[in-house]
Structure 1
Amino acid sequence: MPGKQGDSPTAYSSTESGEFITGAPVAPATVRSAPSHGAPEVQRLVSRGGIEAWFVQDATVPQIAMQYAFAGGSTQDPPERSGLGCMVARLLPEGSGDLDSKSFHERLDKGAINLNFTLTRDDLRGSLRMLKHNKHEAFELLGMALTSPRFDARDVERIQAEVLASLRHRSTEPVSTAYRKFFELAFNSHPYGREPEGTLESVQKIQNADLKDYVRRVIAKDTLKIAVVGDIDAQTLGSLLDSTFGNLPERSDLTEVADVAPAKPPQRIFIPLDVPQTVVTFGGAAVRRSEPDYMATRLLNQIFGGSGLSSRLFHEVREKRGLAYSVHQTLMPMDHSALFVGNAGTRPDRMGETIEELERQVRRIAEEGPTREELDEAKSYLKGLQMMELETQSGLAHTLLQHQRDKLPIEYIEKHNALVDAVTLEDAKRAAQRLWGQGLLTTIVGRAPPPAVRCE
């Protein structure tokens, strides 16, 4: 999935933003982003209680999709309680107020309401989807989950057991192991270096009080971002936002997280694991979302190892030489750093060849950059990808939420294609040298180490 260029959102202003009031005096204030070339009309809505959301009114189908996020994520886990945020995300929809887990889920099922929470390293996110006529029920249940989660002992024990089982499985799974070790190599003792799901030791230490403390510190209005797309008017939405989020604490109590540069390449480690397929995870420092070279970097990622069958890595490593069963690369811009991360699966006896070819391709693109044809194809792909991402209510809501988290302007969707087209071949060559000029961080998981690697 493409990672998270643009200016920060325009500040809400009654004199400069051209806002207007919809409906009665109690209605929310909205600022419209005039659409162009079929782009959705995005409104910045501020409810009477001061809850802000990016909103697209769409009556194509009688449904509503909302995405929301609170800053924090797994970086707010105490080191000895890593996995805490993940536990909270899994437990929030497991009962609230007077409703135990069974009763809460029965109300969700009866209303055909989809409520989910997920955790990243940088935020606690959620999604809410519902039919139009069930909107009041859906928003009420979300508000209950956020403000009065039960964390009943039996539910905590059940979720804890599920997380521990997942961790045990992943400890014998090469892709998960290589990925986890890559982040440890890249970020060492920084919170980014820890596995968001935690460890067997840390998860077993998590108590009910830890869960409640995480909610107290993280779930608050000052870092809340919301995107809503669907068959609902601004006045009704504003009222629902106030009833759902209005009782949250005004301010979070987040532990400060330092910016961090990934470890300097080249470095390589080997983790022995008796599995049929050897896994190679590789990467290094990338470009932050706010930096001017971000769009060039995103295009380069598609050229070198992105999705589809036309990337250099797919052609050179898999198709031409048959070295890997699969090979790909993705960008990971985060709040405090940025990475590119790739993965290849190969036979144990061809591990050395695979690593050599990956490093050769990295040197080649760093020295030569992409071709004009590759750049043009990547531009077409990214522009088409945005169209696909905006086709559904949920996809559009997800995109609008990510734009807010990335501090992009509300009209970014309209600017996107022009920003893609503005990237020159010289821009791409400069970015390629920045990305791959120093080599790779590499973790290898499999049966036998290649020559001259440090083994753990």
Structure 2
Amino acid sequence: MRFVFAALAAALAALPARAVEIQEVTSPGGIHAWLVEEHSIPFTALEVRFEGGTSLDAPGKRGATLLMMALLEEGSGPLDSQGFAAARESLAASFEFDAYDDAATVSARMLTENRDEAAALLKQALTDPHFDADAIDRVKGQVASIIGSNDKDPGEIATRAFDGLAFGAHPYGSSRFGTLDSLAALTREDLVAAKAAVLARDRLYVAAVGDITAEELGKMLDDLFGGLPETGAPMPPRAEMGLSGGVTIVDYASPQSVVMFGQAGIRRDDPDFYAAYVLNHILGGGGFAARLMDEVREKRGLTYGISTWLAPMDLAETWQGSFSSANEKVAEAVRVVRDVWTKVAAEGVAEAELDAAKTYLTGSYPLRFDGNGPIANILVGMQSEGLPVSYVNDRNSFIEAVTLDDVKRVAKRLMDADALRFVVVGQPAGLMATD
């Protein structure tokens, strides 16, 4: 199986994005999917997303969706957890189940010769999981270990504090794992309810890449998903942005502090998104070439690294960044970030910075298409974001079309140093917390 994956990656690594020919498939039962046929190797990758994810956790049941997804391979149909694992291994198939803020995800890899049997096993996991008491207790223990580790990780503490400030009581404002208390209180009935809420056809996105035809995929779609409920739980409302400018300090005994910072962001479907995307690359997304890296690390030695990213989620948008710094240097680093934010908002960026960003962003894009799995993941992401099949061919033209005036206008529109919230986990010297 490893040889198949490696050979396929090598075969596709050199393909430019424009070589990906996407078919839109509708099954006889009306289930939609995107397909890229690649018959040179007898292997298919399937990526599935159920919109809503952990934000569909019922009130007081935080962590239920993630725990439910983790238990799908812990016994189903006539098989217990060990029997399911043995059946999957005998088919040389791979299944991964997970849950995030906006989606519950399934990744499946299967050989053509075993495809029908692998799909039947996957269907069994999706439609007839046991949720046995011993499996629930075992997986709860694994999740509890993650929660305990996260409670001691300054980066995780910073992220959780930032999310709480940004999104409050909305599901985005708390960890998808839940807390030790919420996890311990979850029952089998809660998991059954979470499955019904999340695993439904009205929020389903599917992409397949590999040795499968449109007709074969259509049959597989109905076999896999036809037995799922037609509708799930209503989607939660948009999150109200609670961020305001200032500094939050979380005391943590360490010689250095971890800093998360951010402000309101921009929607993925906003006409200015591509200009903002290029601007972010120049500001903090471009590694050593980024403006913040130059000012905070190269010129002043205040950190080993600093980065920023746009986070346009389904129900809220933020523009975030992070860095770590020695406690005695944090205050200066925060000041420099604010100064850079203010300067770029007022002046925009240099033409050389824009040209370099566009060259990198357009040149690196085809490198993402380096195997069945990555391509399937890109395609299912495009669907969930409402992008057309032509996007893989058009995307670079959107980047190329961004002008210096666009970047300057968007910087002035979006960037507000006074609105930046810094969450500092550590014991920073000379930095005061503010409301």
Residue 79 of structure 1: how far off its partner (Å): 3.4
Aligned with 2:100 (options 117, 120, 136) = 120
Structure 2 Cα separation of the partners of residues 443 and 114 of structure 1:
39
Q: In the alignment, what sits opposite 2:73?
A: 93
CA contact (8 A) 1:221 1:248 kept: yes
1:186 aligns with 2:162: no
Aligned with 1:59 (options 35, 39, 47) = 39
Q: In the alignment, what sits opposite 1:353?
A: 332
Q: In the alignment, what sits opposite 1:288?
A: 267
Q: In the alignment, what sits opposite 2:384?
A: 405
User: For structure 1, which runs of at least 5 residues remain unmatched after alignment?
Assistant: 1-34
1:47 aligns with 2:27: yes
Structure 2 Cα separation of the partners of residues 449 and 58 of structure 1:
57
Q: In the alignment, what sits opposite 2:4?
A: none
Residue 261 of structure 1: how far off its partner (Å): 4.3
Structure 2 Cα separation of the partners of residues 225 and 112 of structure 1:
25
Residue 384 of structure 1: how far off its partner (Å): 2.2
Aligned-partner SS, 2:236: coil
CA contact (8 A) 1:57 1:233 kept: yes
Aligned with 2:56 (options 59, 72, 76) = 76
Residue 436 of structure 1: how far off its partner (Å): 1.7
Aligned-partner SS, 1:167: helix
Residue 267 of structure 1: how far off its partner (Å): 2.4
Residue 326 of structure 1: how far off its partner (Å): 2.2
Q: In the alignment, what sits opposite 2:369?
A: 390
Higher mean alpha-carbon deviation, 339-348 vs 300-309, is at 300-309
**Matched-pair identity in %:** 36
Aligned-partner SS, 1:278: strand
CA contact (8 A) 2:246 2:434 kept: no
Q: In the alignment, what sits opposite 2:278?
A: 299
User: For structure 2, which runs of at least 5 residues remain unmatched after alignment?
Assistant: 1-14
1:151 aligns with 2:164: no
CA contact (8 A) 1:259 1:336 kept: yes
Residue 37 of structure 1: how far off its partner (Å): 7.7
Structure 2 Cα separation of the partners of residues 39 and 339 of structure 1:
33
Equivalent position amino acid for 1:187 in 2: F
CA contact (8 A) 1:359 1:439 kept: no
Aligned-partner SS, 1:227: strand
Aligned with 2:218 (options 234, 238, 245) = 238
Residue 233 of structure 1: how far off its partner (Å): 1.3
Aligned-partner SS, 2:175: coil
Indicate how the Cα distance of structure 1 residues 198 and 91 shifts in structure 2: closer, same or farther if over 3 A, else same. Answer: same
Structure 1 Cα separation of the partners of residues 256 and 432 of structure 2:
20
Aligned-partner SS, 1:300: helix
Higher mean alpha-carbon deviation, 205-214 vs 82-91, is at 82-91
Aligned with 2:319 (options 318, 340, 361) = 340
Higher mean alpha-carbon deviation, 68-77 vs 302-311, is at 302-311
Residue 95 of structure 1: how far off its partner (Å): 1.5
Structure 2 Cα separation of the partners of residues 449 and 114 of structure 1:
49
Aligned with 2:199 (options 202, 219, 240) = 219
Aligned with 1:425 (options 404, 409, 421) = 404
CA contact (8 A) 1:36 1:414 kept: no
Residue 253 of structure 1: how far off its partner (Å): 2.2
Q: Given the two structures, how large is their TM-score scaled by the length of structure 2?
A: 0.93
Indicate how the Cα distance of structure 1 residues 307 and 103 shifts in structure 2: closer, same or farther if over 3 A, else same. Answer: farther
Aligned with 1:265 (options 244, 250, 259) = 244
More helix, by proportion:
2
Once the two structures are superposed, what CA deviation does each residue of 1:329-361 show, in whole Å capped at 9, x if it has no partner? 122111111112111011111111111111111
Q: In the alignment, what sits opposite 1:197?
A: 177
Residue 36 of structure 1: how far off its partner (Å): 9.9
Indicate how the Cα distance of structure 1 residues 307 and 98 shifts in structure 2: closer, same or farther if over 3 A, else same. Answer: farther
CA contact (8 A) 1:121 1:192 kept: yes
Aligned-partner SS, 2:328: helix
CA contact (8 A) 1:259 1:337 kept: yes
Aligned-partner SS, 2:268: coil
Aligned with 2:228 (options 241, 248, 268) = 248
Structure 2 Cα separation of the partners of residues 287 and 101 of structure 1:
43
Equivalent position amino acid for 2:41 in 1: V
Residue 264 of structure 1: how far off its partner (Å): 4.2
Q: In the alignment, what sits opposite 1:164?
A: 144
Q: How many residues align?
A: 420
Structure 2 Cα separation of the partners of residues 37 and 268 of structure 1:
43
Indicate how the Cα distance of structure 1 residues 37 and 337 shifts in structure 2: closer, same or farther if over 3 A, else same. Answer: closer
CA contact (8 A) 1:261 1:285 kept: no
Q: In the alignment, what sits opposite 1:16?
A: none
Q: Given the two structures, how large is their TM-score scaled by the length of structure 1?
A: 0.89
Structure 2 Cα separation of the partners of residues 433 and 158 of structure 1:
52
